[in-house]
Amino acid sequence: MAKNVLTQENFSILEQSIDRHRGIKGPLMPILNDVQKTFGCVPLEVQQKISEELNIPFSEIYGVVTFYSQFSLEPKGDFVIGVCMGTACYVKNAQPILDKIADIIDTKVGETSKDGKFTLVATRCIGACGLAPVITVNEDVYGRLKVEDVPGIMEKY
Amino acid sequence: MEKVTLTIDNIQVEVPKEYTILEAAKATGIDIPTLCFLKDINEVGACRVCLVEVEGARSLQASCVQPIYEGMVVKTNSKKLRNVRKSTVELLLSNHDRECLTCFRNKSCELQTLSEELNITEIPFNKRDTVHPVDTKSEAIVRDPNKCILCGRCVNVCKVEQGIGILDFTKRGVETEVTPAFNRGLNEMPCIQCGQCVSVCPVGALKEKEDIDRVWDVIENPEVHVVVQTAPAVRAALGEAFGMPIGTRVTGKMVASLKRLGFDQVFDTNFAADLTIMEEGHELLDRIQNGGKLPMITSCSPGWVKYCEYNHPELLENLSTCKSPHQMMGAIVKSYYAKKHSIDPKKIFMVSIMPCTAKKSEAARPELQVNGLQDVDAVLTTRELAKMIKQARIDFMKLEDAEFDPALGDYTGAGAIFGATGGVMEASLRSLKDLVDHEDLKKIEYHNIRGISGIKEGEITLGGAVIKLGVAHGTANAEKLLQMIESGEKEYHFIEMMGCSGGCVNGGGQPHVPVSKKMDLDIRVERAKALYQEDTVKEFRKSHENPLVKKLYREFLEKPNSHRAHELLHTHYTARVKYPAADLPEVKEMVIGLLEEKVGVSG
């Protein structure tokens, strides 16, 4: 089933968020946070809507959305896989693990799989160097990994 | 004014307390290099070229944003600073498309000048090899991201001075770019093509869409009758391209150069400005007397007109229906002039030399035509004309002054001042007062609506009634004025709007002036002086006294706002969607398709 994020329901939540933040100083960030949570991304239509409602230039909003990594232009997958590429993980062979995951879910780094299930991200140090090399799948953390462990982990999802 | 004393390079100076180090140094005759700085518009300290040493400070300070204090000790020239500035610019250059020899800003580029001044002889860093596509989709402005140095001047002139915000910083870190939202073409944005971004760009990242070659081709084609006209503001700035001081009036040399270039007839848009006053003035009277839509707002500035179409479709009926002067000229050349001189209008090629980039897209508007022929065939900026003069190897400084061709070249002082903010209004008032009150007023200078303050007001009595006047320039000021009307704070009958700050003299097509020079003088004021000077030397200073205008009505148009005048000289406007691309079905489909793909359509 096609899941369209541009639903009436989502837009009505957007409108409420805009109304709630209208008139406060710096309304853009809280609204964008709401949008990211509701829509799973900050699509073009939403940016234009905010631009027109709050009289903030469209390009400025796009600039903010592309500046902060917490916002995305397209919906992320159900599971966001973060492969730590910090120094410790990197020297402990994070690269082959990243390659293996990319291979299994057939998705390039920074992209979302065709079925919309996985998004693959190469992260900076997540501060779990003792567990290097480490990956996260949403809230789950897997440490001291070997390439052979990867297929087993992926099967869980 | 409170003053503080500080020491810059061992010189003790006393300057106003509000000054930055940069301004204090400037006042002392010390020239600190800058690159991103643009007074009142882009004061962000981003480029790090203006760094100075401040005694007691932990690190080097950006002098363009650093306030001064009593007893401050500043050093602007040391080995450390020379090295730091050099490295900074070398880093900028490593990412910059360094095709200076073939760049349109060759010899007028602020980065090039800086590189020379800092004695940069080699770039020790590798060049980044990403190549970005150049945006050529707009009718007037070309954006080349490969030359952009991320100074942010264009971002803020559009956002602050124009209140629009077409460009902004996107992404972050090494990937940072200045682009429109979603990296769209400028044609897919509510860009008014005023060219202020081009005007302030220190490099060649933004420029007008050049049309020089097409004009050369028709000049050299004996079959084509090539007519040229020059906007009022061109004569106030063209000389700068040949090293003359800002504000030098070069009318005679400009005309001589156009004749030398080979144009068949050299006419003056000032004549058409006089004609505009006749049409617009009578339109205003008609609206006042017959309950028409008020306030009436001028429509000479295509940047302002576009702004209105995008942002205030509810005001389109308030816009004067008059075409802008150069379009009127084109329409008259291809009708009256063609007929009178037995020239086939199809063989006439009308070129407009304008201080403006927006005029390029205006001339392409499909409704601006006569009998299926566009009023104007090509628009060149003042800069492009200067290039043609250089290409033709004409020694501009040695040219003897020449006169416009008599067929459509006669103009009054009223037409000349069109190029400065308040000028259109003043020209209108000169004629309206006389025509309505049947007088021949001697006091014809309206100083309260001259000058560069953002919004100006005045009132006159016309046939016993009080007429309230408003003048705004730069679209941010235009917006402010409209908001004051909407809130009921102000009421006007007649409003003059110009898209660029200062009016056409500071248009986006005028010669580039480096920011270091703009700190010494206000180019809007200096160039306007040239126009007011032109006004005072003319025999006739009121549009309705122009003998040629009188003759045109007598022989051809009958009277202002006649049926024929309406056909040739008036137009209509279109409400425009701000973001047309989002409404294109394929874009919508693409966005939705992308989303569907992401969340799985298998079911």
Q: pLDDT tens digit string along B299-310?
A: 999 999 999 999
Mean pLDDT of B264-270: 98
Q: What is the mean pLDDT of chain A?
A: 91
| Ramachandran bin of B501, using left for φ above 0, alpha for ψ from -120 to 50, beta for the remaining angles | beta
Does B154 participate in catalysis according to the annotation?
no
Q: Please say if the pLDDT value at position B596 is more than 70.
A: no
Does B486 participate in catalysis according to the annotation?
no
Supply the pLDDT for residue B264: 98
Q: Are residues B539 and B416 in the same domain?
A: yes
Residue of B nearest to A59 (CA): B181
Question: How confident is the model over A48-59, as pLDDT tens digits?
Answer: 999 999 999 999
One of B103, B300, B356, B500 is an active-site residue; which one?
Answer: B300
Contact B35, B49 (CB under 8 A): yes
Supply the pLDDT for residue B582: 52
Q: Are residues B170 and B281 in the same domain?
A: no
In a domain, B90, yes or no: no
For B114, the enclosing helix (H) or strand (E) is helix B110-117
Q: Is A57 within 8 Å of B169 when comparing Cβ atoms?
A: no
Q: Please say if the pLDDT value at position B595 is more than 70.
A: no
Q: Is A6 within 8 Å of B602 when comparing Cβ atoms?
A: no
Q: Are residues B321 and B429 in the same domain?
A: yes
Burial class (CB within 10 angstroms; exposed 0-12, middle 13-18, buried 19+) of B325: buried
Of B165, B598, B599, the CB nearest to A59: B165
Q: Are residues B371 and B426 in the same domain?
A: yes
Supply the pLDDT for residue B118: 96
Contact B135, B209 (CB under 8 A): no
- Residue matched to tokens 């001081």: B245
The model's confidence at residue B603, banded by pLDDT at 50, 70 and 90, is very low
In a domain, B592, yes or no: no
User: What is the nearest CA distance from A70 to chain B, expressed in angstroms?
Assistant: 12
In a domain, B198, yes or no: yes
- Residue matched to tokens 């000479």: B300
Q: Are residues B32 and B54 in the same domain?
A: yes
Where among B169, B184, B208 does a domain terminate? B208
The model's confidence at residue B600, banded by pLDDT at 50, 70 and 90, is very low
CA distances from B177 to B98, B134, B170, B301, B536 (A): 18, 13, 5, 31, 48
Of B171, B578, B582, the CB nearest to A67: B171
What is the residue range of B351's domain?
212-569
Q: Is B594 within 8 Å of A116 when comparing Cβ atoms?
A: no
Could you tell me what percent of chain B has a pLDDT over 70?
A: 96
Q: Please say if the pLDDT value at position B338 is more than 60.
A: yes
Q: Which residues of B touch A116 (CB under 8 A)?
A: 597-600
Contact B150, B88 (CB under 8 A): no
Lowest mean pLDDT among A1-10, A42-51, B385-394: A1-10
Closest CA to B85 of B38, B110, B31, B48: B48
Does B489 participate in catalysis according to the annotation?
no
Optimal mutation site among B598, B601, B602, interface A, most CBs of chain A within 10 A:
B598
- Domain range annotation of chain A: 8-67, 79-155
Biggest CA–CA distance in chain B, Å, is 83
d(CA B356, CA B174): 34
Q: Which residues of A touch B579 (CB under 8 A)?
A: 48, 58
Could you tell me what percent of chain B has a pLDDT over 90?
A: 91
Residue A32 tokens, joined: 């964008």
- CATH homologous superfamily, domain A79-155: Glutaredoxin (3.40.30.10)
One of B504, B538, B542, B545 is an active-site residue; which one?
Answer: B504
d(CA B302, CA B308): 10
Question: How confident is the model over B154-171, as pLDDT tens digits?
Answer: 999 999 999 999 999 999
User: What is the nearest CA distance from B188 to chain A, expressed in angstroms?
Assistant: 12
What is the pTM for the complete model shown?
0.91
In a domain, B17, yes or no: yes
- Residue matched to tokens 């628009």: B379
One of B108, B299, B320, B352 is an active-site residue; which one?
Answer: B320
Q: Number of A:B CB contacts under 8 A?
A: 87
Q: Is A44 within 8 Å of B582 when comparing Cβ atoms?
A: yes
Residue B562 tokens, joined: 């006649």
In a domain, B114, yes or no: no
Question: How confident is the model over B56-103, as pLDDT tens digits?
Answer: 999 999 999 999 999 999 999 999 999 999 999 999 999 999 999 999
The rounded Cα B581 to chain-centroid distance in angstroms is 26
Does B283 participate in catalysis according to the annotation?
yes
Of A2, A52, A56, the CB nearest to B599: A2
H/E/C letters for each residue in B124-162? CCCCCCCCCCCECCCCCEEECHHHCCCCCHHHHHHHHHC
Supply the pLDDT for residue B581: 53
Does B309 participate in catalysis according to the annotation?
no
d(CA B366, CA B369): 7
Question: How confident is the model over B432-465, as pLDDT tens digits?
Answer: 999 998 989 999 999 999 999 999 999 999 988 9
Question: How confident is the model over B495-516, as pLDDT tens digits?
Answer: 999 999 999 999 999 999 999 8
Q: Which residues of B touch A67 (CB under 8 A)?
A: 169-172
Question: How confident is the model over A83-101, as pLDDT tens digits?
Answer: 999 999 999 999 999 999 9
Q: What is the dihedral of CA B400, B401, B402, B408, to 10 degrees?
A: 160
Q: Are residues B327 and B218 in the same domain?
A: yes
Where among B154, B178, B208 does a domain terminate? B208
Question: In sequence order, which residues have a C-beta less than 8 Å from that of residue B406 and are 6 or more positions away?
Answer: none
Residue of B nearest to A117 (CA): B599
The domain that contains B38 carries what CATH number? Answer: 3.10.20.740
Supply the pLDDT for residue A75: 85
One of B53, B188, B279, B280 is an active-site residue; which one?
Answer: B280
B345 contacts chain A (CB < 8 A): no
Q: Are residues B185 and B251 in the same domain?
A: no
Q: Are residues B186 and B226 in the same domain?
A: no
Q: Please say if the pLDDT value at position B480 is more than 90.
A: yes
Question: Which residues lie across from A137 on neighbouring strands?
Answer: A81, A140
Q: Please say if the pLDDT value at position B598 is more than 70.
A: no
A74 contacts chain B (CB < 8 A): yes
A91 contacts chain B (CB < 8 A): no
Contact B49, B85 (CB under 8 A): yes
Does B359 participate in catalysis according to the annotation?
yes
Residue of A nearest to B602 (CA): A1
* ipTM here: 0.89
Q: How many domains does chain B have?
A: 3
Of A47, A74, A77, the CB nearest to B181: A47
User: What is the nearest CA distance from A22 to chain B, expressed in angstroms?
Assistant: 19
Closest CA to B311 of B478, B537, B435, B547: B478
Supply the pLDDT for residue B130: 84
CA distances from B260 to B64, B235, B250, B390, B591 (A): 45, 16, 15, 12, 55
β-strand pairing of B494-498 with B296-297: parallel
DSSP for B548-575, please give it. HHHHHIIIII-STT-HHHHHHHB-----
Q: Is B594 within 8 Å of A59 when comparing Cβ atoms?
A: no
d(CA B502, CA B227): 29
d(CA B328, CA B333): 9
Question: Which residues lie across from B570 on neighbouring strands?
Answer: B322
Supply the pLDDT for residue B48: 95
The domain that contains B250 carries what CATH number? Answer: 3.40.50.1780
Contact B84, B50 (CB under 8 A): no
d(CA B58, CA B49): 18
Q: What is the mean pLDDT of chain B?
A: 94
In a domain, B600, yes or no: no
Cis peptide before A133 (omega within 30 of 0): yes
In a domain, B96, yes or no: no
The model's confidence at residue B182, banded by pLDDT at 50, 70 and 90, is very high
User: What is the nearest CA distance from A155 to chain B, expressed in angstroms?
Assistant: 19
Of B165, B166, B582, the CB nearest to A48: B582
Question: How confident is the model over A62-90, as pLDDT tens digits?
Answer: 999 999 988 989 888 889 899 999 999 99
